[in-house]
Amino acid sequence: MAFILPFKQVDVFTNVPFKGNPVAVINCLNITEDQISSKQMQAVANWTNLSETTFIFKSSHPECHYKIRIFTPLNELPLAGHPMIGTCKAFLEFTETKNVSKMYCESKLGVIELSIASTGEISFKAPPADIEGIAAEASAGYQKSLGCEPVASPKLVRVGPKWVVFLVSDAEKCYGVNPDFAKLKHISNIFEHTGLILAGSKSGSMTNFEMRAFAPAEGVDEDPVCGSGSLALTRYLHDHFKYSETTQINITEGGRLGRDGHIKTCVSIIESETSYSTGGDAITIINGTISI
C-alpha cells in the first residue's frame, strides 16, 4: 500500500542552515508499524543518501512520546546521535508541541530521555557505554591509515555504534588529517568497528575539542557532525582526564566538509553516579510530504 506521509529534513548541531548534519524524518504517527516493512524503510534510507533517515511511530510505552527507528543507507541502527536530536525537533513541530522541557523516546536501546532547553537546544542522556582497549594491530593499522600518532591509547566505546576514539595532540592536527579511507575501512571491517573518532584539544584545553568522524565501512567516509561520536569522545575524555565534577565539553566538527557543527556534551557527576549527554541546536530545512 502506498502512503503520503509528513516529511522533514532537519539540520542538526547548528543554528545556521546547511552548516550542520542533516537527518530525514518521516512521520508515521498516523499509520502503524506493521503497515511499513523494515525493507521499505531501508529502501527509503538508501535513497535519501543521508547518513541517517528516521521514522517516528506511536510508542506502546506509556511514558514515551514516540518510538524511533533509525536507518543508515545500509543498516538499521539501535541508536544514533544527531538523528535523536533532529527527530525530536521534527516531532515537536509535527505535533505542535511547545513549552516542554523533557521528552521520552522509545529506541532499540530502551527509553531515551531528551531535554529541551529554554533556548531550544535539545540534548539526550546516553545509555551507559563500555570503554575498552583495542588490539595493538588495530591501533597500528588506524595510526597508519591516519598518518599520525595518538597521544594516548585509542579505545573502543560502545554507544550503539562502536567507535574507536583516537586522540591527537591538538585541534590543528585533527583538522589536517587526510585519512586513507580504503585502509581505514579495511581495519574497521576486520575488527568490526563502526569507525573512528579523531579529536584534538584546542589550546591544551580539557573541555574544548575539534572532532572528526570516519565510518567508511558504513558507507560514510566522513560524517559531518556526529552525535554518537561526541558521546564516545566524552566517555573517552572522562576516562582520560578523570573529571572530578560535572563538566561541559564543547566540540566543533565539520570544517573540512564546509560545515560548522557545534556540539555540547556533558559528563554529569551526581554523587557517585556518572552519566553522559550530548546536544545542540537543530533547524528544519525541508518541510513537506514523502510518497512511500
Q: Does 174 engage in binding with its own copies (CB under 8 A)?
A: no
The stretch near its own copies (CB under 8 A) out of 43-51, 76-84, 94-102, 151-159 is: 43-51
Neighbour count for residue 229 (Cβ, 10 Å) = 33
How many Cβ atoms from other residues are within 10 Å of residue 147's Cβ?
12
Query: Which residue, 114 or 292, is less far from its own copies as judged by CB?
Result: 292
Q: Which is nearer to its own copies, 145 or 234 (CB)?
A: 145
Per the CB < 8 A criterion, the answer to whether 169 and 200 are in contact is yes
With respect to its own copies, which residue has the nearer C-beta, 52 or 210? 52
Interface with its own copies, residue 291, by CB under 8 A: yes
Closest CA to 276 of 244, 207, 228: 228
Q: What angle do CA 255, 163, 152 make, to 5 degrees?
A: 85
Q: Does 133 bind its own copies (CB under 8 A)?
A: no
Give the CA distances from residue 277 to residues 28, 67, 126, in Å, rounded to whole numbers and listed in that order: 27, 19, 6
Biggest CA pair distance of the chain: 57
Residue among 42 and 208 whose Cβ is closer to its own copies: 42
Stretch that binds its own copies, among 133-141, 167-175, 196-204, 282-290 (CB under 8 A): 282-290
Told to check if 49 binds its own copies by CB under 8 A, we report yes
Does the CA dihedral 133-135-141-143 come out positive or negative? positive
Helix axes 81-94, 227-241, angle to 10 degrees: 130
Q: Is 218 a residue of the active site? A: no
Judged by CB under 8 A, which of 23, 50, 138, 226 binds its own copies? 50
User: Residues in the site for its own copies, rule: CB under 8 A?
Assistant: 2, 7, 11, 17-18, 22, 43-44, 46-51, 180-182, 257-258, 283-292
Please give the positions annotated as active site.
Answer: 52
